[in-house]
Amino acid sequence: MTEHVTREINTAEGIHVVTEAISNFRRLYNIDHIIALVGGSQETQDEDIISAIIRLHGYHVAILSGGTEWGVPHTAVVHAKQHNIKTIGVYPETGKKYAHGADLLDLRICVAPTLGESAWGDESEVFAKLLDGVIVFGGSTGTSVELSHLLKMNEAIMKKEGVLKYIVPVAGTGGAADELHNHCYNIGAKREALPIDDITTGDQAANFLINRLNLRHRHDEPDHIEHSRSREVKTSYAFDHSHHVYKSRSHHMTTSEKALVNT
C-alpha cells in the first residue's frame, strides 16, 4: 500500500512533490472528490457546516479548508474528523503558525510565495485547483478571491467542455455567499456551476454536490451490497424460524392468544 506523507508539504519543494503527495493521499484513502468548505475566519456557521458534513459522510470525499484555527475552516475540519472524513488544509507560509497539525489535517499543504514575501491569498490558486466543489458560508475578501478564481477557471473549463467546479453559496449566511449571484461574471459559467434556486442549509448544499458530481457512496459498492444481501438472508431466516416457533407454541395457546400472535 502507498504510504501517505504525514509531514507538511511545501510547494517550494516542487510541483512534483505536491502532486505525488496528493495522488498518494487520494489512492490511500480512496478519495474520488475533494469538497471545500469556505467562509470567514471570524464566522461560525456550525449548524449548517455540521449538516453538510453529516450529509457527506459515507461518500468517497475529503474535506478541504484553509486549515486555520478560526471560523469556518476550523469548524469544518473538527467536525469532518469527528465523522471520519479525511481532511486537507491549504494555507500560505504566513499562515503556517495558525494552521492545525496532523491531528486534524490528514494532508497539509503550505503554499510558498511565487514572488516577494508570503501573503494571504497566495494559497488561492492551489486551493481552487484541488477542489471539485465548494460550499460557501458567508466570507469576506479572502473567500471572494477564491470564488473569483474559480469562476475564471470555469470560463476556460466550459470552452474545453470539461467538468466544472461547482460552487454552492448558502443563502442567508451573508458576505461573499450572498453577494455571489450579483457578481458580473460570465453568465454561462455562473448558470452551469451554481444552483438556480437559493440553497439555504448545509445539507441542501451537500445534496446539490452529491447530485452534480455523482458522488459514490460506499453503500452502493458491490462488496457492501453483497454483504447487505447476506445480512438480509440471515435476517429473513431468523424471522421465519422465529415465526415457526410462534406457530408451534400456538398449539398450546388459548383462542385469544392465537389471535394476538396472528395480528
What is the per-residue pLDDT for 197?
87
CA separation for the pair 211, 193 (Å, rounded) = 13
Burial class for 28, CB neighbours closer than 10 Å (0-12, 13-18, 19+): middle
Q: Is the pLDDT of residue 116 over 60?
A: yes
Q: Which domains can be identified in the chain, with CATH numbers?
A: 9-217 (3.40.50.450), 221-262 (no CATH)
Q: What is the average pLDDT score of the chain?
A: 81
Q: Is the pLDDT of residue 257 over 70?
A: no
The residues with which 217 forms a beta bridge, in sequence order, are 59
**pLDDT tens per residue across span 218-227:** 766 655 444 4
| Nearest by Cα to 38 from 64, 60, 11, 18 | 64
Residues 6+ away with beta carbon under 8 Å from 11: 18, 109, 110, 111, 112, 126
Q: Which of 58-72, 132-146, 168-182, 241-255 has the lowest mean pLDDT?
A: 241-255
**pLDDT tens per residue across span 147-199:** 888 988 998 998 898 999 999 999 988 889 988 866 655 566 667 899 988 89
Residue 75, number of CB atoms within 10 A of its CB? 22
